[in-house]
Structure 1
């Protein structure tokens, strides 16, 4: 009997709302992850709950939101109107239930599909919602979306509003941990987009008076800015921009209805186009688009009626219209920039002069590079036909219609043995491998020319597809996978220097990671435990008792492909490379990679920790 003939009515089943979310969580919250990446599911859960509180603020009620994260428990409390008491259960457990279907009430709201809190409820082992309004309170408790308890508190003196408490389900988000830096960045974005809103996070207060201007000031060193930030505001649009003195690449922070569109979309494309057109018209010169936008640091926020995003996680705007009787997104952005940026440049001749000098400098550099760039592109093209350095995967970040595009990962490895182990054990759909030959160059204080002259850097840039724009980035995660020895650490440092020097926004946007690999394998005949530290090794020896076999891994090449699949699969441990908001990239690189050897030696001696100190800390 053929397999097809067994297809009958019994094969078809309808999942209820919570089963559907739990069976296909990726449809609702993107990738799952363990919290090491800013777009992991646990942060989307926090965001979905917060969005409802933000919408209350936008409606003019509830100027303060309190967020607390202790371990795995999240509490979000707002002082909005509170959910209507008779609908507390329905709003968090019935699909297609919510106020956002009434377009008048929430014309430019963030979540338009009534799915958000239902997904959080279904994907949490504990979920409690409590609403207070008109001196009365109602609460409901759930476990994995199943109602466990419901209570009506007739009278209360508590302030009105909604309080949601939840604990993500560890069977879905395996070994997860909230990284407070990611949550803090998300909350800061909320206050930049909603001046006047106060968010208190674990006791720390976030507030913004000047919106996107504050965003650029907080994310960049003031001394690095070529001219004071240009800050323009309209009814449904806000823009802030400057150019960097040191950064090569373009940097955009874009938002739609308060949603951080990390992958841009129609509004960001229109903004990039509008800047070029306006500046060409202002100077009356047909400058190259890349020369105008080189080193730009900018942010744009627009409000659209009933926006259409290219995925459920809303990271890329697909809408072409602003909604209502307004024009297209492209026309709206072009008209606004054309009028207000032009006015600004006329009124601020000093800024206009600095900007023009920057464009002319970019033009000179581009012309100097043109010959070598052409040669490098030809070399990269030839190499990509038989590029032994890159073993590519099938799904890339730009494949909008593919579910797993956020999992697309490029491992950068040293030498053939390490890349061989990863290549044999990787997931060919989402994991690619780029192998380095020896140590890369220290690129500190070098010009962009070196990226084209150095074959390794040129091929890496081509593999990532980031020469023209971050919008074309091929992999969501770039993972440095080197040995945990002195040489491996040095290679890490040299690669981080390369990215900081030429592509800092890869780090700013949270794409760069270090792969943690086990230092020890502890096993007996029944069980094998991989340990990532001395402390974990001691715990494993205690657990397995007797005299287990202990193996110390010296390099990635020693780990067999069969074992390696454990370290780059579901249980992968990644350390994100993050930038301290207080430190300028220039100062950082100068200290660690410059010619100030005595200062560095003193710093290392003063901060040196021996293995025993680290065990005690654990």
Structure 2
């Protein structure tokens, strides 16, 4: 066999933008179309905002203006402005930026100077405008290539930086910005930066009480066991309460303003120090899981030169605070021990409520222990030959794998549908869990049912979320059922299960409904799949005179060859979102309470509109 020549000609040095465009996942996680909160288009927006936040933190500029119209994004701050002679370099040369000068940016967010360059390289159009001392410098790029860079000119505009970009549609297919996701991101920014105002398309976001506001905005007052405990120190802020209804632990954690959705050393230290402090305060050796059950909390710390486990900064890896400071663990432990202990001494009513909650958790755990043991053995046996789960190779916890954010579990019903998905899925990132008929209605039931019901127990085991959300194995959990009334009912029952026992899966944007086409319209040259009546009419018009039209009644009717189009690059997902105005209990009782059959039918028919609250 002839050997392939390996000479100097084989070695290519990619320039900065080629590398980013060739391996976007290394810089912005996954691509996606905007239906998921960690899709690339939101990371691009975040990278630009991070620079504005750093200006605010340095005491320059109290307002950030953001405008998103269709595909175009504009972000304007009133900070110091990029030094005019460096405007082009800062957005187009690797390892150029002010963040390398620790004096100017002690605890900044964008530490490696890659952010805006990635935005530039992945945008069809990118413009930066910097104003300082009544002078302005602008530069325009297309796909990272400098197209226009006029000389510095005089101006009367206020100082600061403005960035305009349009993500490249050849990389981000069929994308759209969802207001709900952008708003949530911006709320996190203002919680972490009291005094900052963000104006997004005319709506103002502002927070006076930081993380206390975060918890109060995300929970109903009725669901809080006691008023939020809010503790602040230098470089650390903590807010916590317990939920009356939620089973699992819920953490919102941040480092230098980054939302660390995967937790990390700071979150682990907080969970540990909370248990330690509570045990010492009550003088009882309570189980850690009983102390933390139903906790809803937020922690934010500032660290010198943090180390994250991925470019998208979702998990903190640092063990120390930087310089000669103590370890993250010691720092958080000391802070919680002193401040939480003081708070509980000063607020005996709250202390009593926490103790009652722990004792209640202990009783429930003991009641469950026998069932749990049986269920675990069953799940163990089943996982050896778990017919329900056809797993994939890459999981969310594989921090070193740049496809981990694509990890997806499809929950399907019946053999024909799961057969089609299984044959056409990407075995690296897509797993399939098949249900047998309709799941149980778990509304109003206790956690016991999760262990007693084999299907729920196996689903919980497949997701690996029994102990903590940090072990979640798939980034996207996709309900894939037929679009008929039965399919809608199954959707409803599954959403009920997640709302009842694992609401943070929905709160953190992991749960979706798969859209599948209702029609196929084709002629000899072209096939178009249509997801609505409007799309069907447009396709008939395009492929006239006489195209062949097929209506799909269920997923089982779609052949595996065709199915791969609907779960591949052009997959359409509808996120399941919680409406802020309704608490989880209200939602559940509205959907699953004792309703008349007519009302249930109405709900099922309107499920997509009601629960998803997705903009069209």
Label 1:159 to 1:356 Cα distance change in 2 as closer, same or farther (>3 A): same
The Cα shift of 1:591 comes to 1.0
User: Residue by residue, what CA displacement relative to the aligned partner does 1:389-436 show, whole Å, maximum 9, x if unpaired?
Assistant: 000000100111111010000000000000000000000000000000
Q: 1:119 to 1:281 in 2, by over 3 A?
A: same
Q: Residues 449, 604 of structure 1: CA spacing in aligned structure 2 closer, same or farther, 3 A cutoff?
A: closer
* Structural mapping, 1:157-172, within 5 Å: 157-172=156-171
1:72 aligns with: 71
**Is the 8 Å Cα contact of residues 82 and 160 (structure 1) preserved in structure 2?**
yes
CA-CA distance at 1:154 after TM superposition: 2.4
Which deviates further from its counterpart, 104-113 or 144-153?
Answer: 144-153
Partner of 1:613: none
Task: Please list, as runs of the form range in 1=range in 2, the aligned pairs for 1:552-567 lying within 5 A after superposition.
Answer: 552-567=551-566
Contact 2:591 2:600 in 1 (8 A): no
Q: Which residue does 1:194 correspond to in 2?
A: 193
Shift in Å, 1:324: 1.5
Report if the CA contact (8 A) 2:318-2:328 is conserved.
yes
Judging changes above 3 Å, is the alpha-carbon distance between structure 1 residues 609 and 48 closer, same or farther for their aligned structure 2 residues? closer
Q: How does 1:319-334 map to 2 (within 5 A)?
A: 319-334=318-333
Alpha-carbon shift at residue 598 of structure 1 (Å): 7.7
Deviation at 1:34, TM superposition (A): 0.5
TM-score for the superposition, normalised by structure 1: 0.97
Partners of 1:192 and 1:211 within 8 A in 2: yes
Alignment map for 1:248-263 (pairs within 5 Å): 248-263=247-262
Q: State the partner residue of 2:25.
A: 26
For the residue of structure 2 that corresponds to 1:263, the secondary structure is coil
1:399 match: 398
Task: Name the residue aligned to 1:149.
Answer: 148
1:34-183 matched pairs, under 5 angstroms:
34-183=33-182
Tell me the distance in 2 between the aligned counterparts of 1:315 and 1:582.
28
> What is the aligned partner in structure 2 of residue 541 from structure 1?
540
2:612 matched to which residue of 1?
none
Aligned equivalent of 2:367: 368
Deviation at 1:152, TM superposition (A): 3.2
Tell me what 2:184 maps to. Answer: 185
Change (3 A) 1:362 1:607: closer
Q: Which residue of 2 aligns with 1:531?
A: 530
- Change over 3 Å in CA distance of 1:605–1:341 after alignment to 2: closer
Structure 2: how far apart are the matches of 1:592 and 1:320?
45
Distance in 2 (CA, whole Å) between partners of 1:294 and 1:237 is 23
CA distance in 2, matches of 1:289, 1:561: 47
Instruction: Please state how far the C-alpha of 1:6 moved relative to its aligned partner.
Output: 2.3
Alignment deviations for residues 3-23 of structure 1 (CA, whole Å, 9 cap, x no partner):
5x4222221100000101111
Residue 264 of structure 2 is matched in structure 1 by 265
Find the aligned partners of 1:604 and 1:47 in 2 and give their Cα distance. Answer: 37
Q: Secondary structure at the match of 1:557?
A: helix
> What is the alpha-carbon distance in structure 2 between the residues aligned to residue 162 and residue 115 of structure 1?
17
Per the normalisation by structure 2, the TM-score is 0.97
Partners of 1:441 and 1:607 lie apart in 2 by 21
Please, which runs of 5 or more residues in structure 2 have no aligned partner?
A: 610-614
Deviates more, 1:6-15 or 1:59-68: 6-15
The SS at the match of 1:152 is: coil
8 A contact 2:84–2:152 mirrored in 1: no
Q: 590-599 vs 498-507, which deviates more?
A: 590-599
1:159-558 aligned at under 5 Å gives the runs 159-558=158-557
Q: Alignment partner of 1:252: what SS?
A: strand
CA deviations 1:279-323 (Å, max 9, x no partner) are 000000000000000000000000000000000000000000000
* Separation (CA, whole Å) in 2 of partners of 1:404 and 1:598: 44
Cα drift, residue 103 of structure 1: 1.0
Match of 1:110, SS state, is coil
**C-alpha separation in 2, matches of 1:225 and 1:291:** 17
Structure 1 residues 605 and 302: alpha-carbon distance in aligned structure 2, compared to 1, 3 A threshold: closer
Q: 1:600 Cα shift? A: 3.3
1:323-343 residue CA offsets vs partner (Å, 9 max, x unmatched): 012100011011100110000
Distance in 1 between residues matched to 2:315 and 2:601, nearest whole Å: 47
Q: Is the 8 A contact 1:200 1:206 kept in 2?
A: yes
Instruction: Give the Å deviation of 1:153.
Output: 4.9
Any idea what the Cα deviations from partners look like across 1:248-280, whole Å, max 9, x if unmatched? 010000000000000000000000001000000
Count of aligned pairs: 611
Give, in whole Å, the separation in 1 of the partners of 2:601 and 2:275.
48
Equivalents in 2 of 1:322, 1:536: separation in Å?
A: 55
Taking structure 1 as reference, are residues 609 and 350 closer, same or farther at Cα in structure 2, changes over 3 Å only?
A: closer
Aligned to 2:149, what secondary structure does the other structure show? Answer: strand
Structure 2 distance, partners of 1:555, 1:201, is 41
Q: Could you say if the C-alpha distance between residues 414 and 607 of structure 1 is closer, same or farther in structure 2, counting changes exceeding 3 Å?
A: closer
Q: Distance in 2 between matches of 1:383 and 1:87?
A: 61
Q: CA deviation at 1:79?
A: 0.3
Contact 2:394–2:429 (8 Å) recurs in 1: yes
Q: Deviations over 1:110-133 (max 9, x none)?
A: 011010000000000100000111
Counterparts of 1:225 and 1:346, CA distance in 2: 20
Distance apart, 1:156 and its partner CA: 1.2
How much does 1:107 deviate? Answer: 1.2
Contact 1:136/1:155, CA 8 A, preserved across alignment? yes
Structure 1: runs of 5 or more not aligned: 611-616
How far, CA to CA, are the matches of 1:18 and 1:115 in structure 2? 11
Alignment partners' CA distance in 2, 1:357 and 1:143: 61
How far 1:605 moved relative to its partner? 12
CA distance in structure 1 between the partners assigned to 2:543 and 2:8 by the alignment:
49
Contact 1:591 1:600 in 2 (8 A): no
